[in-house]
Structure 1
Amino acid sequence: MRTALEDELCFPQLGNTSCRKSQHSHPIATSMLLTVIALITVTLNLLVIISIAHFKQLQTTTNLLLLSLATSDTFVGFLMLFQISLLGGCWFLGDLMCIVYFIGDHFVTSASIGSMVLISIDRYMAICDPLGYTIKVTKSRVNIAVFICWFESFFLNCLFAINQLKQPARFKKCVGNCEVVVPYTVGMTDLLISFIGPIAVIVVLYMNVFAAAASQSRAMRSHVRSTTLRIAIIKSSELKAARTLGVVVVVFITCIMPYFCIVITGQDVVLNASYAAFIICLFYFNSCLNPLIYAILYPWFRRSIKIIVTLQILKPDSSQINIMINM
């Protein structure tokens, strides 16, 4: 007959070498909530991916960057399922998979931030250099930039975790836990490369974007030369996209900042997923918010969802539908 102590262990047969289960106050309710968020995240981001990939009219340079962001958000939804399994405080997939999970989590995070940087650069070019935008920002260059972003994110995160991959159980305290010890120097380097640097670039670029927007607004109000007014009108549509993506960026920074701030809280930070649930889930929830922002601020996304849900997407030549009508 099992004792009370055995019920608290992840692996009762291992005795004292087993980790204890987490004393989470509402594990079932939290698991159900995270499951719903994960399903919504995957579903909505898949709708973004299908919309941009299917409808030819949506395959603009800016939307290709949104496609990259939606792809990383979809992976976040799947990774959330691992987080749900950790709410009980026990990891049953082995030491190697624990390291792979954390690498994947950081990889997706880095790819998301990289996509945000590319989106900021795109908006900066569109607003501050409208005449050179179509020449300098092409689909081929955007695809190359997205590939470099994802490859660099994967390479750097594998490089940072190479010692952990060689010895997955090096810092293991008991059987059944999943934690990664990040040395302070590695954590600070990752913080600078993956967060502080990119966020600084995003903030500077958007400050320039909205400074240019304010200048254009003054020019339109004063009705200066017709050529100046014409340029301002051309860029007003780009400004609308910049404002929408600016909301996405602000929400992203708000949600992801606590996740990176834990790196600088000590000499050796132990990132235990079960104890850092709130911080990690806050980042996960951001991936659910992005497509909701698109649905509120992008008419084309609402229209594409309607076409997909009603299965009109299965009709011949549906990819040629004028999805941007009345915009």
Structure 2
Amino acid sequence: MDEAELCFPQLLNTSCLKNTRPYSESMLIYILMSFVSLLTVVLNLLVIVSISHFRQLHTPTNLIILSLAASDFLVGLFIMPFQTLLIEPCWFLGDLMCSLCFFVAFLTVPSSEVNMVLISVDRYVAICDPLRYSTKITQKRVKICVLLCWIYCVFYSFTILYDNLKEPGRYNSCYGQCVINISGTVHIILAFILPISTIVILYLRVFVVAVSQARAMRSHITAVKLQSSVTVTVKKSELKAARTLGVVVAVFIMCYCPFYCVSLSRSDITMASSTNTFINILVLLNSCLNPVIYAFFYPWFRKSVKLIVTLQILQPHSSQANIM
């Protein structure tokens, strides 16, 4: 066996084979992943700064969006570079770093899913029970739910990777691999079936109610009084928010479904083939698409980005600016 074909030539028979990719393919993947990673970090950082800085954006819905942006920011900062390293034919960072990287991945990526569930619940209450929305969905309750979301993700990541964290590298067949073993059934149920089912059921209900409300508003818009027109405006804003976040949820499902459909047929996660690399990148791409959707549908995001880029947020009392 030629030593050049081994990840660790000095280890001879215990080293993994180095299956090299074409140079052009590797460069294309590295450039693409680096660009998407940088874009994901910058865009989600803009969302985080916007919602954190401007008081007008301190609403229960935006707090959930802030949590989602935080998880997407971590995906761009840590998980995308990690995925790029997995594309390499050999893993050189050691068994412990392999397990820790997967721990962070199973912490941040599922947190996006749980935040999507919170968004669906928020829109469900706003559309289906608007009169009691302000009493049911308060900032304090949302903060508690967001905290529980992250605690759940930490517990989930630790539980599903317990054996891999306890004994890093136990599932590697040779030196130069980064392999973990998880319970496929538990992973699919907790990370896909439960959150996706909850999201779909809630948004189907929201869609039905939103359509009926839109028809009612069109039928009676000419007959409403001034006081009623205020109510109609509120409903329109809620419907617009539901539509925008519905696009976020739809994009989320489209990005995640291919990954979990493939996961149904396997329980080992190894350094990926071209197909697995594509579906993993598709999942990570969702973290970049969310703030892009906000830019298209939320005027306040575009206004806040303009204030941030022009450094107007450094001026006194900028946090009280009207950007809605």
The two structures have a TM-score, normalised by structure 2, of 0.93
Kindly indicate whether the alpha-carbon contact (under 8 Å) linking 2:43 and 2:291 is maintained by their aligned counterparts in 1.
yes
Partner of 2:38: 39
Q: AA paired with 1:273?
A: M
Secondary structure, counterpart of 1:195 in structure 2:
helix
Q: Could you say what the CA RMSD is over the residues aligned between the two structures, in angstroms?
A: 1.7
Unaligned runs of 5+ in 2: none
Secondary structure, counterpart of 1:199 in structure 2:
helix
CA drift at 1:259: 1.9
Kindly indicate whether the alpha-carbon contact (under 8 Å) linking 1:219 and 1:228 is maintained by their aligned counterparts in 2.
no
CA drift at 1:28: 1.6
Kindly indicate whether the alpha-carbon contact (under 8 Å) linking 2:75 and 2:287 is maintained by their aligned counterparts in 1.
yes
Match of 1:201 among 182, 188, 198: 198
Partner of 1:94: 94
Kindly indicate whether the alpha-carbon contact (under 8 Å) linking 1:10 and 1:21 is maintained by their aligned counterparts in 2.
yes
Secondary structure, counterpart of 1:76 in structure 2:
helix
Tell me, in whole angstroms, the C-alpha distance in 2 between the residues paired with 1:131 and 1:24.
Answer: 59
1:315 aligned onto 2:312:
no
Kindly indicate whether the alpha-carbon contact (under 8 Å) linking 1:55 and 1:321 is maintained by their aligned counterparts in 2.
yes
Q: AA paired with 1:274?
A: A
Tell me, in whole angstroms, the C-alpha distance in 2 between the residues paired with 1:22 and 1:320.
Answer: 57
Which structure 2 residues correspond to residues 210-289 of structure 1 after superposition, within 5 A? 210-223=207-220, 226=224, 231-266=231-266, 269-275=267-273, 276-289=276-289
Unaligned runs of 5+ in 1: none
Kindly indicate whether the alpha-carbon contact (under 8 Å) linking 1:99 and 1:164 is maintained by their aligned counterparts in 2.
yes
Which structure 2 residues correspond to residues 40-79 of structure 1 after superposition, within 5 A? 40-78=39-77, 79=79
Which structure 2 residues correspond to residues 127-142 of structure 1 after superposition, within 5 A? 127-142=127-142
Structure-2 change in CA distance of 1:22 and 1:289 (3 Å): farther
Q: How many matched pairs?
A: 316
Kindly indicate whether the alpha-carbon contact (under 8 Å) linking 1:110 and 1:194 is maintained by their aligned counterparts in 2.
yes
Structure-2 change in CA distance of 1:22 and 1:290 (3 Å): farther
Secondary structure, counterpart of 1:323 in structure 2:
coil
Kindly indicate whether the alpha-carbon contact (under 8 Å) linking 1:216 and 1:232 is maintained by their aligned counterparts in 2.
no
Partner of 1:160: 160
**Could you list the per-position Cα deviations for residues 171-228 of structure 1 after superposition, in whole angstroms to 9, with x for gaps in the alignment?**
111111111122xxx2112211221111111111111111111111221232287487
Secondary structure, counterpart of 2:87 in structure 1:
coil
Tell me, in whole angstroms, the C-alpha distance in 2 between the residues paired with 1:98 and 1:119.
Answer: 32
1:82 aligned onto 2:79:
no
Partner of 1:191: 188
**Could you list the per-position Cα deviations for residues 77-121 of structure 1 after superposition, in whole angstroms to 9, with x for gaps in the alignment?**
121111112222211211111111112112112111000000000
Q: Percent of aligned positions with the same letter in both sequences? A: 51
CA drift at 1:234: 2.1
Secondary structure, counterpart of 2:133 in structure 1:
helix
Tell me, in whole angstroms, the C-alpha distance in 1 between the residues paired with 2:186 and 2:288.
Answer: 28
Q: AA paired with 1:197?
A: L
Tell me, in whole angstroms, the C-alpha distance in 2 between the residues paired with 1:231 and 1:310.
Answer: 36
Secondary structure, counterpart of 2:115 in structure 1:
helix
Q: AA paired with 1:281?
A: I
Tell me, in whole angstroms, the C-alpha distance in 2 between the residues paired with 1:133 and 1:101.
Answer: 39
Structure-2 change in CA distance of 1:310 and 1:229 (3 Å): closer
Structure-2 change in CA distance of 1:228 and 1:55 (3 Å): closer
The two structures have a TM-score, normalised by structure 1, of 0.92
Which structure 2 residues correspond to residues 98-137 of structure 1 after superposition, within 5 A? 98-137=98-137
Match of 1:19 among 1, 5, 16: 16
Tell me, in whole angstroms, the C-alpha distance in 2 between the residues paired with 1:199 and 1:228.
Answer: 36
Q: AA paired with 2:202?
A: L
Partner of 2:151: 151
Kindly indicate whether the alpha-carbon contact (under 8 Å) linking 1:22 and 1:274 is maintained by their aligned counterparts in 2.
no
CA drift at 1:153: 1.0
CA drift at 1:261: 2.2
